[in-house]
Amino acid sequence: MTVVEFFFDIISPYSRLQYELLMRKVPHWKSMQLKLTPVSIRAIFEGSSNPSPALNPVKRAYLLRDLEMVHQYHDIPFAIPNDFMKIAIEIGSLKLQHFLAAIQSEIDDETFKRLVGEYFRKFFDPNNPINVFLEDQFKQVAIDMKIDRNLIEKILSRLDSEEIKAKLEENNRIALNLGGFGLPITLVHCDPPQWVFGSDRMHLLAHILHESI
Beta strands at 2-8 and 194-197: parallel, antiparallel or unpaired: unpaired
- Percentage of the chain beyond pLDDT 70 is 100
| Catalytic choice (12, 40, 52, 199) | 12
Kindly report the CATH number assigned to the domain that includes residue 116: 3.40.30.10
pTM of structure: 0.97
Sign of CA dihedral 40, 91, 88, 202: positive
pLDDT of residue 205: 99
Query: Among 102, 94, 170, 165, which Cα is nearest to 133's?
Result: 94
The alpha carbon torsion through 94, 95, 97, 103 (nearest 10 deg) reads: 160
Summarised one tens digit per residue, pLDDT across range 123-168 is 999 999 999 999 999 999 999 999 999 999 999 999 999 999 999 9
Which domain does 36 fall in, by range? 2-209
Q: Is 12 among the catalytic positions?
A: yes
Summarised one tens digit per residue, pLDDT across range 17-49 is 999 999 999 999 999 999 999 999 999 999 999
Using a 10 angstrom Cβ sphere, with 0-12 exposed, 13-18 middle and 19 or more buried, the burial of residue 124 is: buried
Total number of domains constituting the chain:
1
